[in-house]
Structure 1
Amino acid sequence: MELREDGIYCDCTVGGGGHLLMMLEKTHNTRFIGIDQDPEALDFVRANLGSFKERVILYEGNFAHLDRIINELNIKGLDGILFDLGASFHQLTTPERGFSFNLDGRLLMQMSPETVPLYSKLRAANKEEIFYVLKNYGDVPDARTLAVAIFENRHKLNTTMDLRKLVEKRFSGRFLKKNLHRVFQAFRIWTNEELKNLKEGLIKAVHLLFPRRRMIVISYHSGEDRIVKNIFRDFEKQKILRRLNKKVIRPRIEEIHKNPAARSARMRVVEKCASC
């Protein structure tokens, strides 16, 4: 991200504030907007801003409504936009949030307290919907068999361990952890309507970006990356964006050693065309 001292930048997924704090440390007068739909994330970041708080506006909301948020803040446009998708470290390591297959907690998976929890969504779903989620959001092997088992037991699925035990009956040994990850990720994406929100947020972000300014998107799921790639490519055909990397950027080995969670990260960078 090229940071200008007179610019306004938006971190659309502020999470634990890592990217935001790094950008604040590199600048003196630059202003930032930090958006997150998780109030716990915003409380954490707010408590750690220190002397930077005068240069930051934190906003609880979904980046799918980015245009409305920026309008409410009376800002005309943005000099840079960042999306770092997926669940945050806090969400994954807090049992009460219900995101992790390693920690026992209610089967919630809500990024926002306003979202319908996973256990409720499963109770209202039919077999075909559950199958679609497992197949298309998680690429789960033999998704139909597992979908039937989940459907038949949906009224008994109250905790993360309840769901894990069903998955363990289908997968074992060296395939278990990978498929637990696939199943939990698929249901997280479904619960929070992440792919739908991503499409809406990206399109709005493109229109809010000033000419000759950049947007960075980091994704961790092939479905997310496909959406990002296609939207960027379509805007490039319209001569609205220029892709700075035609091929996705992946983390280096040393980066993965420092942060194993970055293993599946995919980064794409675009610049708004000067004439837009």
Structure 2
Amino acid sequence: MPSSHATPTPRNNVLSLFDLTGDTAVVTGAGSGLGRAMAEALAEAGASVGLVDISVDRLQAVAQQITADGGSCLPVAADVTDPGSISAAVRRVKEHFGNLDVVCVNAGISRGPGFPEAGGTLVGTSPGDWGAVIDVNLHGAFNTLRVAAEEISNGGRILVTASTAGLRADPMVGYAYVGSKAAVLNIVRQAALELAPRGIRVNAVAPGPFRTNIAGEGALEDPALDAQWAKTIPLGRMAEPEELKGLVLLLTSKASSFMTGGAYAVDGGALALSHAH
């Protein structure tokens, strides 16, 4: 008869759910902003990370930092709007590290003003700005998702950067950005249903106002823009890219093993404020 004082079987520490050691990840738009924060988070959790961006200089700077911090990465320049370019980049990362477990579909741009008084109107939206944003944010996301579905391992995780602007009307950003992010959210849901039989989970993060250079290199130094955004956020400030790391790690690890097809806002309460009205 077994002793009532038998040593219990040890349980895994909860932190092990977030351990990505042995996994390979790809992050598009990894050269700056949210993409850089995503890549850093994945590397810090033990993954080998393929850094994909159209800018070679930005890629090298991120790769140097991750390597200096003890992480493993491979920078690969690619254009997400070119299906052949992003396919070749993803396959190169997979061949280099030997597997592919996580893909962060993050590359995105914004053009044109959001405020009607600044020209953010239907008539004021130029065909050039509309086309450029749709090409990166929607076509680029689809191109990346397509190769991810082909190359990722069964049980893999795909994380797409959407936006709270895709969940509601948002006068702070232009028509093309709102339209592209709303479309991306429905593609995430569709892909989650298709890939679920393979155990592949597809989710979206929906950031609110984060301090990145998506609105142009000078936007980060514009206190007036900061103040305008702060008025829309219950927490009273814009977020820093590092504040996305926790959710990214949750949705790309075993910690989210029963989560797919969802969109998770990180917005300082902005959506709650809009619902209150």
Normalised TM-score (structure 1): 0.50
Gap runs ≥5 in structure 1: 93-98, 102-137, 139-172, 262-266
Mapped pair 1:69 → 2:85: no
Q: Which residue of 1 aligns with 2:103?
A: 81
Query: Per the alignment, do residues 248 and 260 of structure 1 end up closer, same or farther by CA in structure 2, a change over 3 Å counting?
Result: closer
Mapped pair 1:22 → 2:66: no
Cα deviation for residue 36 of structure 1 reads 0.6
Distance across 1 between alignment mates of 2:240 and 2:130: 20
Q: Is the contact between residue 155 and residue 200 of structure 2 (CA under 8 Å) also seen in structure 1?
A: no
Mapped pair 1:214 → 2:157: yes
| Structure having the larger proportion of residues in helix | 1
Distance across 2 between alignment mates of 1:228 and 1:218: 9
Q: Which residue of 2 aligns with 1:226?
A: 183
3-state SS in 1 of match to 2:153: strand
Cα deviation for residue 13 of structure 1 reads 1.7
Distance across 1 between alignment mates of 2:121 and 2:70: 41
Q: How does 1:104-253 map to 2 (within 5 A)?
A: 175-179=117-121, 182-183=125-126, 185-189=129-133, 194-220=137-163, 221=177, 222-230=179-187, 232-234=189-191, 236-237=193-194, 239-240=197-198, 249=206, 251=208, 253=233
Distance across 2 between alignment mates of 1:175 and 1:260: 27
Q: Which residue of 1 aligns with 2:59?
A: 42
Q: Is the contact between residue 37 and residue 62 of structure 1 (CA under 8 Å) also seen in structure 2?
A: yes
Query: Per the alignment, do residues 260 and 55 of structure 1 end up closer, same or farther by CA in structure 2, a change over 3 Å counting?
Result: closer
Q: Is the contact between residue 49 and residue 73 of structure 2 (CA under 8 Å) also seen in structure 1?
A: yes
Distance across 2 between alignment mates of 1:211 and 1:272: 13
Q: Residue deviations 1:199-219, cap 9 Å, x none?
A: 221111122222222111112
How many positions carry a matched residue from both structures?
A: 183
Normalised TM-score (structure 2): 0.50
| Cα-Cα RMSD | 4.2
Q: Residue deviations 1:107-139, cap 9 Å, x none?
A: xxxxxxxxxxxxxxxxxxxxxxxxxxxxxxx9x
Mapped pair 1:6 → 2:50: no
Cα deviation for residue 57 of structure 1 reads 0.6
Q: Is the contact between residue 28 and residue 104 of structure 2 (CA under 8 Å) also seen in structure 1?
A: yes
- Which amino acid in 2 is paired with 1:6? G
Deviates more, 1:174-183 or 1:42-51: 174-183
3-state SS in 1 of match to 2:20: coil
Query: Per the alignment, do residues 56 and 21 of structure 1 end up closer, same or farther by CA in structure 2, a change over 3 Å counting?
Result: same
Q: Is the contact between residue 2 and residue 214 of structure 1 (CA under 8 Å) also seen in structure 2?
A: no
Q: Is the contact between residue 206 and residue 272 of structure 1 (CA under 8 Å) also seen in structure 2?
A: no
Gap runs ≥5 in structure 2: 1-16, 164-176, 210-232, 242-247, 259-277
Distance across 2 between alignment mates of 1:256 and 1:34: 32
